[in-house]
Amino acid sequence: MNVLSAARRSGKAHLGLREALLSNAVAYLFLAPALLFFVVFQAGPLITTIVLSFYEGGILSGFSYSGFDNYLTLWSDREFYQTIKFTLLYFVIIVPSVLAVSLAMAVLLNDKFIRGKNFFKAAIFFPSLAPMVTLSTLWLFMIFPNVGLINMLLAVVNVREVEWLSSPLMATLTIVLVELWRGVGFYMVIFLAGLVAIPEELYEAAELDGAGPIRQFWSITLPQLRPTITFCLIMAVIFNFQLFDAVYMITGGGPGGSTESIAWYIFSNAFKYDQLGLASATSTLLLLAVMSITAVLLKVLPSDR
């Protein structure tokens, strides 16, 4: 009797396993496109980059295993340090300014007394949607010496012509300005979403407690926006460490290599000098840097209200 029932049970178990496999196969089939995309375009390139960072050479010259040579080369490369210096300078200017300006815009446009809010939101958000090539070309026209719109406007108020791309500082500021223009809309929309989630009654309670608009901003808005600020800060860190297209389009890394970013350095080594191994090592370091900063920020910054 016992043997019989055990056999029945095992038969049922086999059937269950087959059914389970079959149903899992269907699930994997549904997952396949996403999985394929992830392997081909994300995990694959990531692993390849890390592997290639231990090889010397490039696509044209061929690869040969070199151990940690690429990392040692970077360690002693003055040009690499210059790109870190520029990227950090750009980073410390752009991250606070893009967050501050977008938060200010969001707070302004969240005010119920502002008219034409939707127009302003769309206008400010628009640059986030446009390709950087378009934006950069537009800016190149605007900052063109003599006939550029900005210099012409400055001339109206008797400010002498600004050489936008001739000095390292001005070239850096120009890149910051373009990236600011592009980024503000994106962060503003996220901040707006955070702002509308703050209960109106908190402001009313603060108003009755005697707090004016500025005190309300510091005591209610900012603390209530903490998770949004954390999110935007992390996004800004990730985006801006990879600065490339504005450099490529506007300054080409100049003047005198002063606006070459880390991503520019990676691009140049990989596609100009056929040093894909060195570029991969730089990419791996950049990845580690961004991951470390993000991890620290996530640890340090509060993620709840």
Partner 1 sequence: MSAIDIRGLGKHYAGTDVLRQVDLTIDEGEFIVLVGPSGCGKSTLLRIIAGLEDISEGELYIGGLLSNAVKARARNVAMVFQSYALYPHMTVEENIGFALKVAGLSKAERHRRVRDVARSLGLENLLQRKPKALSGGQRQRVAIGRAIVRHPKVFLMDEPLSNLDAKLRVEMRAEMRALHSRLGVTTVYVTHDQVEALTLGTRVAVLRPIGESGNTNVQQFATPTELFERPHNVFVAGFMGSPPMNILLARLVRRGGALEISMGDIVIALPQAMQSQALADAAGRADGYIVIGVRPADIGVAPPGGVAFNTRITDMEMLGDHSSVSFSARTPAVPFDFDFTAKDVYTSLLGGSSLTKISARLEGRLRLRANDEVSLAIDPARIYFFDAQTGLALGNP
Q: Shortest gap between Cβ of 81 and partner 1 (angstroms)?
A: 42
Q: Shortest gap between Cβ of 210 and partner 1 (angstroms)?
A: 4
Q: Are 258 and 86 in contact (CB under 8 A)?
A: yes
Q: Which is nearer to partner 1, 233 or 270 (CB)?
A: 233
Q: Which is nearer to partner 1, 225 or 270 (CB)?
A: 225
180 CB-side CA count, 13 A: 21
Q: Are 50 and 42 in contact (CB under 8 A)?
A: no
Q: Which is nearer to partner 1, 116 or 212 (CB)?
A: 212
> In the structure encoding, which two tokens stand for residue 89, read together?
């300078």
Question: CA 124 from chain center: how many Å?
Answer: 18
Q: Shortest gap between Cβ of 304 and partner 1 (angstroms)?
A: 9
Q: How many CB atoms lie within 10 A of CB 260?
A: 23
Q: Which is nearer to partner 1, 18 or 305 (CB)?
A: 305
Helices (H), ranges, 39-113: 44-52, 69-75, 78-109
Q: Shortest gap between Cβ of 201 and partner 1 (angstroms)?
A: 4
Q: Which residue is it, tokens 């034409």?
A: 116
Burial bucket for residue 106 (CB in 10 Å: 0-12, 13-18, 19+): buried
Q: Shortest gap between Cβ of 223 and partner 1 (angstroms)?
A: 4
DSSP, res 161: P
Q: Shortest gap between Cβ of 227 and partner 1 (angstroms)?
A: 11
Q: Shortest gap between Cβ of 230 and partner 1 (angstroms)?
A: 14
- CA 245, 250, 252 angle in degrees (round to 5)? 80
Contact set with partner 1 (CB under 8 A): 199, 201-202, 204-212, 215, 219-220, 223-224, 226, 305
- CA 217, 122, 244 angle in degrees (round to 5)? 90
Q: Which is nearer to partner 1, 125 or 203 (CB)?
A: 203
Q: Are 59 and 272 in contact (CB under 8 A)?
A: no
Q: Which is nearer to partner 1, 216 or 284 (CB)?
A: 216
Q: Which is nearer to partner 1, 163 or 209 (CB)?
A: 209
SS3 state at 77 = coil
